[in-house]
């Protein structure tokens, strides 16, 4: 039975971002249901909430209408986080299109059929490809490189189609999301874990190329906050970048982590080049329309992850 705030479905709710979102929703008094097929996660992050009867968990696949239809019963709001990542999309492109695009279609259609009040969709800054100008704006050129990015962009367009039928939505293009329990194999942010693990082992971080390549690291708590704002706002049918707005070079990242863990090492450099060279979100739109303000400074957030891994290395597995 949903409480006054409403019943929320989080697809992919057992994953890195989804599980943080679920914890926040429960804290804010929403009634929460999760659908996840656990292809890239386990229930460890949700176990306490499930055992306490605070959330309902459905072991199901977003590609299947029956499973999604069951999960959508009585739902007021949907956060669509379920997806397979960039690395996997390059290894298994057909599966990636199937989950990340057809799965989105199934979720959006079902949300429309069940008269859901708002869908918030987890898109990605990767729809921009390698940007020609920085910071990257929502109306900048789109150049998806991998099947993952193609599916994300296509899902965005699908939402416009469903909006014409009456579905309310907002789209969030996440930049480089990091934080406690982040995935060790995420395409961009795995560098954080690699550096930390080497530092813990007493080794110097190995930087690809010159280390001048940049990312926009945004803490998962800020991503969660953006989702809550996108859910509650009167503004709908919009696309928003969600980043810190700060560009951090990989070289700087190594320096921050070395200092965070108090190590006395000098980074090494390798000849391997990274695919995307620079990332920095223009967050003017989300600031203006949703009142979003990133709250976790990159230096502090990275230190928190470094300490968390030191304390609990086993939780950084998938």
Ligand X SMILES: NC(=O)c1ccc[n+]([C@@H]2O[C@H](COP(=O)([O-])OP(=O)(O)OC[C@H]3O[C@@H](n4cnc5c(N)ncnc54)[C@H](O)[C@@H]3O)[C@@H](O)[C@H]2O)c1
Instruction: Enumerate binding residues for ligand X (CB under 6 A).
Output: 12, 14-18, 35-41, 61-63, 81-85, 99, 103, 122, 124, 174, 176-177, 183, 186, 189
- From the candidates 30, 77, 128, 148, give the one annotated as an active-site residue: 148
Of residues 99 and 298, the one with the C-beta less far from ligand X: 99
Distances from the Cα of 19 to the Cα of 26, 130, 227, 240, 265, angstroms: 11, 29, 13, 21, 35
User: Could you give the residue ranges of the DSSP H alpha helices within the chain?
Assistant: 16-27, 47-51, 65-71, 86-91, 93-97, 103-113, 147-164, 190-200, 220-232, 250-260, 284-290, 298-311
Phi-psi region of 29 (alpha: psi -120 to 50; beta: other; left: phi over 0): left
Measured CA to CA, the distance from residue 25 to residue 5 in angstroms comes to 10
Measured CA to CA, the distance from residue 101 to residue 97 in angstroms comes to 5
Measured CA to CA, the distance from residue 39 to residue 96 in angstroms comes to 12
Closest CA to 82 of 65, 67, 66, 63: 63
Query: In the bound complex, what is the minimum distance in angstroms from residue 184's beta carbon to ligand X?
Result: 11
Is 169 catalytic? The answer is no
CB neighbourhood size of 299 (10 A): 17
Of residues 6 and 18, the one with the C-beta less far from ligand X: 18
**By Cβ distance, which residue is nearest to ligand X?**
15
Query: In the bound complex, what is the minimum distance in angstroms from residue 265's beta carbon to ligand X?
Result: 26
Of residues 263 and 285, the one with the C-beta less far from ligand X: 285
Helix (H, G, I), strand (E, B) or coil at 126: helix
Q: How do 31-36 and 55-59 pair as beta strands?
A: parallel
Of residues 122 and 254, the one with the C-beta less far from ligand X: 122
Query: In the bound complex, what is the minimum distance in angstroms from residue 271's beta carbon to ligand X?
Result: 26
Of residues 10 and 290, the one with the C-beta less far from ligand X: 10
Would you mind telling me the total number of residues written for the chain in this entry? 318
Query: In the bound complex, what is the minimum distance in angstroms from residue 175's beta carbon to ligand X?
Result: 7
Query: In the bound complex, what is the minimum distance in angstroms from residue 124's beta carbon to ligand X?
Result: 4
* Catalytic positions, written as ranges: 148
């Amino acid at each position: 039975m949903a409480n006054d705030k409403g019943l929320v479905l989080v697809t992919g709710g057992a994953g890195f971002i989804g599980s943080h979102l679920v914890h926040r929703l429960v804290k804010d008094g929403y009634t929460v249901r999760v659908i996840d097929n656990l292809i890239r996660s386990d229930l460890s992050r949700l176990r306490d909430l499930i055992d306490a009867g605070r959330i309902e968990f459905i072991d199901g696949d977003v590609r299947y209408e029956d499973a999604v239809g069951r999960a959508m019963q009585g739902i007021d709001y949907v956060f669509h986080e379920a997806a397979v990542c960039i690395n996997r999309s390059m290894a298994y492109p057909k599966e990636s299109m199937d989950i990340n695009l057809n799965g989105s279609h199934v979720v959006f259609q079902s949300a429309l059929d069940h008269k859901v009040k708002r869908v918030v969709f987890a898109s990605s800054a990767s729809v921009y490809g390698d940007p020609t100008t920085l910071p990257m704006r929502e109306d900048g050129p789109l150049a998806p490189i991998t099947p993952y990015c193609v599916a994300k962009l296509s899902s965005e367009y699908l939402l416009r189609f469903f909006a014409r039928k009456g579905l309310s939505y907002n789209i969030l293009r996440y930049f480089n999301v990091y934080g406690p329990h982040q995935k060790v194999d995420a395409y961009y942010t795995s560098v954080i874990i690699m550096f930390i693990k080497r530092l813990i082992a007493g080794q110097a971080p190995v930087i690809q190329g010159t280390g001048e390549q940049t990312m926009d690291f945004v803490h998962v708590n800020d991503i969660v906050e953006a989702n809550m704002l996108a859910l509650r706002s009167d503004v709908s049918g919009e696309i928003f970048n969600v980043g810190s707005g700060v560009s951090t070079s990989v070289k700087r990242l190594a320096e921050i982590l070395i200092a965070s863990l108090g190590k006395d090492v000098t980074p090494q450099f390798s000849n391997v080049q990274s695919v995307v060279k620079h990332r920095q979100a223009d967050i003017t739109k989300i600031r203006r329309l949703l009142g979003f303000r990133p709250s976790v400074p990159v230096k502090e957030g990275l230190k928190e992850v470094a300490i968390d891994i030191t304390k609990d290395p086993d939780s950084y597995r998938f």
